[in-house]
Amino acid sequence: MRKTHGMAEAGLALPALIDLPEPPAPQRPLAMSAEGHRARMRTRLLQAGPEALGDHELVEMLLFLALPRRDTKPVARALLARFGSFANALAAPVAELRQVAGLGEAGIAALKTAQAAALRLMRGEVLEKPLLDHWEKLLGYLNAALARERVEQFRILFLDSRNRLIADEAQARGTVNHTPVYPREVMRRALELQATALILVHNHPSGDPTPSRADIDMTAEIKAAARTLGIVLHDHLVIGNGRHVSFRQQGLL
């Protein structure tokens, strides 16, 4: 106490205790039983493949990579209880993931990395291939990318003369039931990419892929604009929750 008083008298200011940052909470060491559990899951994954693990175990393994000193089983079960499935947990908005106790930024980043990797893998299945000949794989990719989105997103697949994918671009994001789309901007981008064909795609967050009157009118405008430039509009796909509608199959194109 005397030394502190002497430093104050000498003009050396000490920071107030209330200004000092709180030390981070110590992480609880992983118990030996949890380490054994993790080792057994790792062995099953490497020897038998991903199908050997349940949804909660896959989430647990992902989180363990980001939180190696934590028992991630309770967090994994909390994620599945809140979002209902492995896929829903990966696709959940970051703002909602932040509400899951114990997950943290590192855990969220691990889930989003897994989601990005899955989409990249599925997208790779349709690259460099004529999309019209690989329709089921294309639908699988689009469902994974859009079916769980909480707001409308309008995407365009730009194709070359062999109907191979040049670019898959989000042109606009809107509200839960509306996305503004401008045919002039769509055509401008198609010319920049030297695309000769298009596939339009958007999602309905309600889960019902039935096209609206606005969807039908907008598609007609884009088709007319594309025709003047010699660009083919192959289809417009509306993605719902586990369902989709093809304008071409419905006779709307």
Using the 3D structure, point to which of 63, 98, 121 is the last residue of a domain. 121
Which burial class, exposed, middle or buried, applies to 56 when counting CB atoms under 10 A from its CB (0-12, 13-18, 19+)? middle
Highest mean pLDDT among 8-17, 59-68, 165-174, 199-208: 199-208
Q: What are phi and psi of 59, to 5 degrees?
A: -60, -40
Q: Pick 29 or 34 by higher pLDDT.
A: 34
What SS3 class is residue 86?
helix
The number of folded domains in the chain is 2
What SS3 class is residue 129?
coil
Do 145 and 97 share a domain, yes or no? no
Summarised one tens digit per residue, pLDDT across range 106-158 is 999 999 999 999 988 888 888 777 888 889 999 999 998 898 888 889 999 99
Residue 148 confidence (pLDDT): 87
Supply 231's token pair.
């660009």
Supply 154's token pair.
């309008």
| Residue/partner pairs of 31-36 with CB below 8 Å, 24 or more apart | 31/71, 34/71, 34/73
Summarised one tens digit per residue, pLDDT across range 57-99 is 889 888 988 888 788 889 999 999 999 999 899 999 999 999 9
142 found inside a domain: yes
Q: Per-residue confidence at 25, pLDDT binned at 50, 70, 90?
A: very low
C-alpha distance from residue 68 to each of 29, 90, 185, 213 (Å): 9, 19, 47, 51
Highest mean pLDDT among 15-19, 39-43, 175-179, 203-207: 203-207
Do 113 and 179 share a domain, yes or no? no
Using the 3D structure, point to which of 121, 156, 185 is the last residue of a domain. 121
57 found inside a domain: yes
Domain housing 99: 27-121
Summarised one tens digit per residue, pLDDT across range 34-64 is 677 778 888 888 888 878 888 888 898 889 8
Sorted by sequence, the CB contacts under 8 Å of residue 18 that are 6+ apart come out as none
- Length of the chain, please? 253
Please tell me the number of Cα atoms within 13 Å of 175 on its side-chain side: 2
208 found inside a domain: yes
Mean pLDDT for the stretch of residues 176-193: 82
Average predicted confidence (pLDDT) for the chain: 84
Do 240 and 133 share a domain, yes or no? yes
C-alpha closest to that of 152 among 204, 199, 92, 210: 204
Q: What percent of the chain is predicted at pLDDT more than 90? A: 48
Using the 3D structure, point to which of 87, 121, 155 is the last residue of a domain. 121
C-alpha distance from residue 194 to each of 156, 181, 186 (Å): 14, 20, 12
C-alpha distance from residue 222 to each of 20, 34, 49, 50, 185 (Å): 60, 57, 45, 43, 10
Do 106 and 155 share a domain, yes or no? no
What SS3 class is residue 203?
strand
**For the whole model, what pTM was predicted?**
0.71
Do 138 and 234 share a domain, yes or no? yes
> How is residue 235 annotated by DSSP?
E
Sorted by sequence, the CB contacts under 8 Å of residue 113 that are 6+ apart come out as none
83 found inside a domain: yes
Query: How far apart are the C-alpha atoms of 103 and 18, rounded to whole Å?
Result: 28
pLDDT of 178 higher than 90: no
Q: Pick 72 or 237 by higher pLDDT.
A: 237
Residue 203 confidence (pLDDT): 93
pLDDT of 3 higher than 60: no
In the beta sheet, which residues pair with residue 157?
168, 199
pLDDT of 190 higher than 60: yes
